[in-house]
Amino acid sequence: MNSDRTAGQWKQIKGNIKEQWGKLTDDDLTQLEGHSDQLAGRLQERYGLAREEAERQARDFSTRHNWH
């Protein structure tokens, strides 16, 4: 049951990520599963953001969605 709950939470987070950053692909999201610390790198890669800005956006998203 716990794995079902985790899978459901990940689907919600994945949907929220896609809403906010539509350039991230399904492959990007598959690689991010369970690795919130890698979101900033993906944002830098897809959006050409400076490291500090990508880290800020990722941190803000993780905090808002309780994804750690």
- Residue 24: Cβ within 10 Å count: 20
Looking at residue 45, its amino acid is: E
The domains of the chain, with CATH numbers, are 24-68 (1.10.1470.10)
pTM: 0.81
Q: CA angle at residue 58 from 32 to 26, to 5 degrees? A: 30
pLDDT in tens, 6-48: 778 889 999 999 999 999 999 999 998 878 889 999 999 999 9
Which region, left, alpha or beta, applies to residue 34 given φ > 0 means left and ψ of -120 to 50 means alpha?
left
Q: What is the number of alpha carbons within 13 Å of residue 57 lying toward its C-beta?
A: 18
Q: Which structure tokens are listed for 64? A: 């808002």
Q: What's the pLDDT score for residue 44?
A: 96
Q: Average the pLDDT over 48-53 and give the result.
A: 96
Q: What's the pLDDT score for residue 57?
A: 96
> Residue 63: is its pLDDT beyond 90?
yes
Q: What's the pLDDT score for residue 1?
A: 52
